[in-house]
């Protein structure tokens, strides 16, 4: 039976979450993480889509992108990323490689305005919530360190809501640090999580 096509809302951002099959680890070391982000950068250029945030945990990858040009681009983007991540020297059998990721990724579309900022903060706090670190800036595989200029990356694009936080990059980073310093409110985290699980849009 063919899968139902995911609905696309023009002008909305995209919050993707991709998990390892049966929640098994997909990022075993730093090489895996670097390779995944390099492939993500290649797809960013191919699909001409901005990347506003990411977080790689041992069992999952989360990505926030801008709107895609075509109605099928979001699905093709994630399918391509899943295929790129398979490394032949580690996963020689095609049947095994195809099960590295869950077959279906989660996607919730995000209205412009406040919610992309909320998703950026939620995503960059995931390592803390998962017990991987005590503070977001101590985790190497989220977009937070790039955003703060600790480890600049060509992968990261500036979201308009972030640019409006200050007159220059120093002001914006300080304002974003304060925004992060408030933590993720429980109600906001629950709303984002439910939207992901239900594939419902974040808006309002």
pLDDT in tens, 2-30: 445 556 788 999 999 999 888 788 898 99
Asked if the model's pLDDT at residue 99 lies above 80, the reply is no
For the chain, what is the mean pLDDT? 89
**CA-to-CA separations, 151 to 73, 75, 78, 194, in angstroms, rounded:** 29, 29, 25, 32
Altogether, the residues listed in the chain come to a count of: 204
Long-range contacts, stretch 6-12, CB < 8 angstroms, 24+ apart: 6/74, 6/75, 6/107, 6/199, 7/109, 8/68, 8/71, 8/74, 8/109, 9/109, 9/201, 10/67, 11/67, 11/112, 12/67, 12/109, 12/110, 12/111, 12/112, 12/201
Task: Establish how many alpha carbons lie within 13 A of residue 163's alpha carbon, considering only the half-sphere containing its beta carbon.
Answer: 5
How does residue 100 score in pLDDT terms, banded at 50, 70 and 90? Answer: confident
Asked if the model's pLDDT at residue 32 lies above 60, the reply is yes
Helix or strand run (H / E) with residue 178:
helix 169-181
pLDDT at 137: 93
Asked if the model's pLDDT at residue 87 lies above 90, the reply is no
13-198 topology per CATH? Alpha-Beta Plaits (3.30.70)
**pTM summary value:** 0.90
Please state the domain extents for the chain: 13-198
Q: How many CB atoms are located within 10 Å of the residue 105 CB?
A: 21
Asked if the model's pLDDT at residue 184 lies above 60, the reply is yes
Parallel, antiparallel or unpaired: strands 51-57 and 106-110: unpaired
Helix or strand run (H / E) with residue 172:
helix 169-181
How does residue 83 score in pLDDT terms, banded at 50, 70 and 90? Answer: confident
The average pLDDT across 42-68 equals 97
Asked if the model's pLDDT at residue 158 lies above 60, the reply is yes
Asked if the model's pLDDT at residue 67 lies above 90, the reply is yes
């Amino acid at each position: 039976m063919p899968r139902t096509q995911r609905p696309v809302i023009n002008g909305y951002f995209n919050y993707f979450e991709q998990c390892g099959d049966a929640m098994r680890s997909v990022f075993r070391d730093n090489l895996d993480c670097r390779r995944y982000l390099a492939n993500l950068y290649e797809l960013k250029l191919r699909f001409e889509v901005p990347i506003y945030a990411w977080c790689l945990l041992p069992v999952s990858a989360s990505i926030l992108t801008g709107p895609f040009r075509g109605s099928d681009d979001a699905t093709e983007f994630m399918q391509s990323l899943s295929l790129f991540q398979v490394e032949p020297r580690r996963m020689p059998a095609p049947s095994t490689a195809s099960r590295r990721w869950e077959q279906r990724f989660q996607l919730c579309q995000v209205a412009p305005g406040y919610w992309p900022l909320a998703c950026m903060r939620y995503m960059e706090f995931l390592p803390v919530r998962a017990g991987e670190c005590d503070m977001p800036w101590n985790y190497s595989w989220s977009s937070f360190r790039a955003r703060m200029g600790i480890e600049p990356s060509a992968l990261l694009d500036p979201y308009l809501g972030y640019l409006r936080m200050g007159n220059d990059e120093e002001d914006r980073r300080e304002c974003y640090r304060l925004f992060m310093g408030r933590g993720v409110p429980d109600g906001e985290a629950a709303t984002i999580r439910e939207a992901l699980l239900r594939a419902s849009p974040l808006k309002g």
